[in-house]
Structure 1
Amino acid sequence: MTQSPDTATRSTRSIEVRSIDYVPRSERHGKVWHIGPLWFMCNAQITTLAIGVVSFVDGGNLIWSLIAIVLGLIIGTFFMAAHSSQGPQLGLPQMIQSRPQFGYIGALLVWLFAFLQYAGFNIFNTVLAGEAIGTAIHTATGLNPLWFWIVTVVSAVIAIAGYDLIHRMERYLSYLTIAALALLTLAGITHLHLPAGSFDLGHFSPLAFFAQLSVVAGYQISWAIYVSDYSRYLPATTPTSQTFRWTFWGSAVGGAWMIFLGAYLAAAVKNFDAGDPIPAIEQVSNDLFPGFGTIALLIFAFGLIAVIVLNMYGGSLTLISSIDSVKKVNPTLLVRIVTVVITALISGVLALFASSNFATNFSSFLVLVLYFFIPWTAVNLTDFFIVRRGHYAIAEIFKPSGIYRRWGWAGIASYLIGFVCMTPFFNTAFYVGFIAKAMGGVDISLFIGLPIAGGLYWIFTRGLDLDAERRLADAQAAELEDAAEHHLADGAAV
């Protein structure tokens, strides 16, 4: 089906109307390479710097930190990018796709954790963006409520505009960010000096190594709850391999650049504070040439706004999905605007109460994200690639009494068992599992939860009548496209 000129104009220039509903093929547009800059920008921002510092807290050195970062990026980004390929095929945002595994109501289990993640990241990002702007223009330093709210309001407006504006913004910002990062990296290499032993392979700390690896993998996997939100408008004929490739390399390159830089600064800058990297960035940038610190901080502040937008947009979709599981929602433009505003207010208000303790414990927050989403990503990807192989009766996802039922016990049981099996391997500030203690604090829960949750889900779903499900999906296909077309006109009314 080709795209009419009217539909193309309406899809790319107006405020986005759709939210959790299916995107019909007539509205699909964009190029697959567009998701590369978007995922590059998601990682190429100040928050990511903090990820590279983790191993130094536990006594690691630079070379083993870099090795752990590479492995963590490969593992985490692989699973994250695999979710991206679901978007063009299903035409749905990421979180609503959990219903076939967890059920119409049961999916609330993972949506609650997803919304907490959106809020958590936005608190940290809002604090950093506000401080970066205030420091750059010398109006204030430290925590400034005025800049918090300016950042929050600007981000909310862009999130309300929706999918196409978000993609364009990320593309243009990526050019500025690459230039700023190149100069900052040059400044670091030419003006900073690494301590002795930074590249000593004999200085290996298992605790530091696996802490760094887990946090990097967790950071990358944490994007999995967003991923198909930003690929769902691509043409349904988009090859899975291309969607995966552009997502993987965009995210991996942006992540590697910033996390490597964070590790380098942690090793070379005396008293480097991962919770407040603004002073170090300004200092190192100004070492290259006077005034570059201001330019760099403003560019990175805009990069943080770009990520805050994604959290507001994704938080809105998750909030709508959650409400819809309890009381049927007609996903109109008004509903999307209201939920974006609610998400913005929650993160903005909480940012006012954020303290240095939140920044200091950011790595602990990321590890918790890893714990909660490892079983989910295993279940979701096993269902998509191995069990149902991308074939879903999409209309049934929106029916409380549809074939996916209210409670998906196979998904719920796999998730909970996988999570419980991970707990002996946990190592957090408030809880250390008995196996992690016996291993000197080494946390390998990542490698336990993935195979157990995914393997159990495959076993529990062996009795599904997938042929009947596919026949139903084929029978509903034309009706689904027609219903989605009619919704665009109805849903645009505020």
Structure 2
Amino acid sequence: MLVVLFTNAATAVLPAYMATFGPKLGLRQMTSARYSWGWHGAKVVALLNCVACVGWSSINTIAGAQTLRVVADERISDAAGVVIVAVITLALGMLGYKYVHIYEKWSWIPTALTFVVVLGCAAKHLVNVPMGTGQAEASNVLSFMGVIFGFAVGWVSLASDYNVYQPETTPAWKTFAWTYTGLIIPLVLIEWLGAAIMCVAGGAAPSNADWTAAYKANELGGLLGAVLVPAVGNFGKFCMVLLVLSVVANNIINVYSMGLSISVIGVWLAKVPRLIWPVVITAIYIPIAIAGANSFSKSLENFMNVLGYWLSIFVTVVLLEHFVFRGGDFARYDAAATWNRQDRTPVGVAALAAFLFGALGTAMGMAQVWYIGKIGALVGGAANPFGGDIGFELAGAFAGIVYLPARYLERKYIGR
């Protein structure tokens, strides 16, 4: 719980500050990335953001589908659940910016109340698990931090997409404060609840056989059913349906922002009517979600780690450009006159170099089932052969060390 608290408290600063770019520049996040990543470099990160949006949509939809299948007592398949969640998301997302905000404004309330019910039903079963000590425990904490970081930092690539219509005079501290508050409260509370329940159902020493069996059989949906249904009966199933609203709320953001990112990848893509993209995106992530429906937890963990790696590089480059080379002054962007001018934005050589060296740092620091880097292995030591993941820390550090001198030379010899 302490790892959850402190990692989120530090990480949420990044998307909260990135959100301030929206009112000040009037640009979506991937468009404003042109001022640090360059015209062509922004295409690369926009493409990566599209991949991330598809990934999040797939994982969220799997969670919703599993929940619906358990509610229906196995009378519908995971595939049917995926299609149901995806179609609801598509229908709401295509209504546009205004209605996305309206849905997000109210949908959190029943979701929050439902999580309170989950806590009430689970409370008597929760146990206190003593924390381990030593190098093995320390390396596990570092790996866990990487997962938490990957979840919270996922908002840095789209934070300003949803406040660009606010007045330019909006104080940056207000944008920062509201975004930070809106992130930190649900992130910490829900992750605390999830960690507490998983200690009982899937920890090193699970203490509730019914929860453990339900989780092994149906993962997240099964676990929710095991917590709620025995305690409150059919009302528990109703609560599970309400929780699907949170899946829809998250997926609407992914679908909408991916449509915006696509327009940065190519000028010709921007000419395609925006209503087309939600349909295309939905058609892409439905089969992916169906294929991954049997491995939700592992897919989620691996995806959040990979997300944390590249977004660590992305946000490092953007913030170094902003604070070091533009003095933290939004007026030095001249966004109104230059946002769509290739000849007035950086070439992107420095950002590309930072990306490559950041990827090297990732490879050296990561500790995944499918690959353990040299430094990641050292962190784990003999006590933990699986290593300790410090991939996102090294990704950001390597990228920053290279970007500063490279950007200085780029500005000196190229002039922009």
What TM-score do the two structures reach when normalised by structure 2? Answer: 0.87
Shift of 1:296: 1.5
Shift of 1:259: 0.9
Q: Secondary structure, in 3 states, of the residue corresponding to 1:235?
A: coil
What is the CA–CA distance in structure 2 between the aligned matches of 1:328 and 1:137, rounded to whole Å?
41
Shift of 1:127: 1.9
Find the partner of 1:404 among 322, 325, 345: 345
What do the CA deviations read for 1:426-454 (whole angstroms, capped 9, x no partner)? 11121111111122211223332323323
Structure 1 residues without counterparts, runs of 5 or longer: 1-65, 470-494
**2:390 matches 1:447:** no
Shift of 1:112: 2.2
What is the CA–CA distance in structure 1 between the aligned matches of 2:79 and 2:276, rounded to whole Å?
26
**2:81 matches 1:150:** no
What is the CA–CA distance in structure 1 between the aligned matches of 2:193 and 2:200, rounded to whole Å?
10
8 Å CA contact 2:41, 2:352 repeated in 1: yes
The answer for the alignment partner of 1:249 in structure 2 is 181
Moved more, 181-190 or 258-267: 181-190
Shift of 1:193: 3.6
What is the CA–CA distance in structure 2 between the aligned matches of 1:358 and 1:175, rounded to whole Å?
26
Structure 2 residues without counterparts, runs of 5 or longer: 202-207, 381-386
The answer for the alignment partner of 2:171 in structure 1 is 239
Q: Which amino acid aligns with 1:348?
A: I
8 Å CA contact 2:320, 2:400 repeated in 1: yes
8 Å CA contact 1:69, 1:213 repeated in 2: yes
What is the CA–CA distance in structure 1 between the aligned matches of 2:108 and 2:299, rounded to whole Å?
28
What is the CA–CA distance in structure 2 between the aligned matches of 1:131 and 1:445, rounded to whole Å?
31
**2:107 matches 1:173:** yes
Shift of 1:141: 4.8
The answer for the alignment partner of 2:8 in structure 1 is 73
What is the CA–CA distance in structure 2 between the aligned matches of 1:287 and 1:358, rounded to whole Å?
24
What is the CA–CA distance in structure 2 between the aligned matches of 1:186 and 1:380, rounded to whole Å?
43
Moved more, 245-254 or 67-76: 67-76
8 Å CA contact 1:104, 1:397 repeated in 2: no
8 Å CA contact 1:130, 1:144 repeated in 2: yes
Shift of 1:142: 4.7
Shift of 1:137: 4.4
**2:300 matches 1:362:** yes
**2:355 matches 1:418:** no
8 Å CA contact 1:282, 1:296 repeated in 2: no
Find the partner of 2:215 among 261, 268, 273: 273
Aligned residues: CA RMSD: 2.3
8 Å CA contact 1:134, 1:144 repeated in 2: no
Structure number with the higher helix fraction is 2
The answer for the alignment partner of 1:5 in structure 2 is none
Q: Which amino acid aligns with 1:117?
A: A
What is the CA–CA distance in structure 2 between the aligned matches of 1:211 and 1:201, rounded to whole Å?
15
The answer for the alignment partner of 1:199 in structure 2 is 130
What do the CA deviations read for 1:143-200 (whole angstroms, capped 9, x no partner)? 133x32232222122222222211111121111112111121122113x1416xx134
Shift of 1:109: 1.9
Q: Which amino acid aligns with 1:173?
A: S
Moved more, 88-97 or 266-275: 266-275
Shift of 1:130: 2.4
Q: Which amino acid aligns with 2:344?
A: I
Shift of 1:346: 0.6
Shift in alpha-carbon separation, 1:233–1:139, aligned structure 2, 3 A: farther
Q: Which amino acid aligns with 2:354?
A: S
Counting only pairs closer than 5 Å after superposition, residues 53-452 of structure 1 correspond to structure 2 as 66-138=1-73, 140-145=75-80, 147-190=81-124, 192-194=125-127, 198-200=129-131, 202=133, 205-269=137-201, 270=208, 271=212, 273=215, 276-324=219-267, 327=268, 329-330=270-271, 335-388=273-326, 389=328, 390=330, 391-394=332-335, 395-400=337-342, 402-404=343-345, 407-440=347-380, 441-452=387-398
The answer for the alignment partner of 1:459 in structure 2 is 405
Q: Secondary structure, in 3 states, of the residue corresponding to 1:161?
A: coil
What do the CA deviations read for 1:73-109 (whole angstroms, capped 9, x no partner)? 1222111211111111111111112212222222222
Q: Secondary structure, in 3 states, of the residue corresponding to 2:70?
A: helix
Shift in alpha-carbon separation, 1:273–1:224, aligned structure 2, 3 A: farther
Q: Which amino acid aligns with 1:252?
A: I
8 Å CA contact 2:11, 2:152 repeated in 1: yes
